[in-house]
Amino acid sequence: MRPFAAALFTSAMLAFPALAEDVTIATAQGDVTLPAPPANVVAFDVAAIDSLNALGVTPAAVPDQLYVPALVENEALKLDTVGTLFEPDLEKLAGLAPDLIIVGGRSAAQKDAVAQVAPAINMTIGPDLIGDAKARIDAYGSLFAKSEDAAKLNDSIDTRLAELKAAGEGKGTALVLMTNGPKIAAYGTGSRFGWLHDATGMAPAIADLSNEDRHGNALTPEAIADANPDWLLVLDRGAAVGEEGQSAEATLKTPLIEGTTAWQKGQVVYLPAAEMYIGGGGYGSLMSVTDALLAALTK
């Protein structure tokens, strides 16, 4: 028998509040009906924690690292930790007797494991980042009886995106890059970071990039120079996960890339790294990234 088996019994007995009413919400795996509102929630997805925080919902516990600066510095989120995004501590989790466990993104593969403890939902945000981000906020609003607050958050996203699309009009082409130490990868429309093209209205400087690989399309400085983008939108993966090593700026600072229109005109935008890479689609992270883009396009 697993060491947390006894705690599972307690968790099951406390699973949902007696006065809860069923609500049906959209998840990454289809509609799910749950008793609501859950009183004791544990979240293993940074984007979910981000959006819950924006709605004023504080989970009972979080993974050991939140990465996104605004979440790391938030006193309300200095909570008990229950393992990592990739490896939940099931015994500790069971001891908290959660009503509901939220997984997504990097923790999505752990859904079956944590579902041994309590009902679990997968709230992964896919390549349709804006659509999924708003759908998750709507779902959390319904689940926690905060639908009006959720509607206000989504209205603010729509307002910001309208401003961003207007700012991007006529600004030329963009190339979305992720650096990982000395490596450079590019992302086109339909990819995990392709929403940046949709949000700004700027066409990709390289039209035929594949959107199949989450790691992107490997590029050389020569390929970037040949594409000659008007803008470079850059994500530094090392900075996102707190790794030491060569920065994005150091990686891109080559004679070939320095000769591009983007570099010559000072149109290289270093995006909020953890917000893009770890918290992507969380409300606060989304607003931080769009803020950075809007500031760059309107300066």
The type of residue at 57 is V
Residue 182: count of CB within 10 angstroms of its CB: 9
Give dist(CA 198, CA 76) in Å, integer.
Answer: 34
Reading the block at residue 90, the tokens are 């099931």
The type of residue at 105 is G
> How high is the pLDDT of residue 14?
43
CA-nearest of 271, 210, 215 to 279 is 271
Give dist(CA 151, CA 134) in Å, integer.
Answer: 9
> How high is the pLDDT of residue 19?
56
H runs (alpha helix) in 1-89: 5-13, 46-54, 69-72
> How high is the pLDDT of residue 20?
67
> How high is the pLDDT of residue 215?
82
What's the Cα-to-Cα distance from 187 to each of 63, 215, 221, 291, rounded to whole Å? 28, 9, 15, 20
What's the Cα-to-Cα distance from 178 to each of 23, 74, 252, 271, rounded to whole Å? 39, 27, 10, 10
The residue extents of the domains of the chain are 21-144, 167-298
> How high is the pLDDT of residue 15?
43
Reading the block at residue 232, the tokens are 């470079």
For the chain, counts of helices (H) and of strands (E): 15, 12
Per-residue pLDDT of the chain (299 residues; tens, 9 = 90+): 444 444 444 444 444 444 569 999 999 999 999 999 999 999 999 999 999 999 999 999 999 999 999 999 999 999 999 999 999 999 999 999 999 999 999 999 999 999 999 999 999 999 999 999 999 999 999 999 999 999 999 999 999 999 999 999 999 999 999 999 999 999 999 999 999 999 999 999 999 898 777 789 999 999 999 999 999 999 999 999 999 889 999 999 999 999 999 999 999 999 999 999 999 999 999 999 999 999 999 99
Give dist(CA 46, CA 189) in Å, integer.
Answer: 24
Q: Are 128 and 112 in contact (CB under 8 A)?
A: no
Chosen CATH of 21-144 out of 3.40.50.300, 3.20.10.10, 3.40.50.1980, 3.90.1170.50: 3.40.50.1980
Q: Which homologous superfamily does the CATH classification assign to the domain defined by 167-298?
A: Nitrogenase molybdenum iron protein domain (3.40.50.1980)
CA-nearest of 251, 227, 245, 236 to 292 is 236
- DSSP strand pairing (174-180 vs 231-236): parallel
Q: What crossing angle do the helices spanning 147-168 and 283-298 adopt, rounded to 10°?
A: 20
**Residue 70, CB half-sphere, CA atoms under 13 Å: how many?**
21
Domains 21-144 and 167-298 in one fold: yes
Q: Are 190 and 127 in contact (CB under 8 A)?
A: yes
> How high is the pLDDT of residue 13?
43
The type of residue at 96 is L
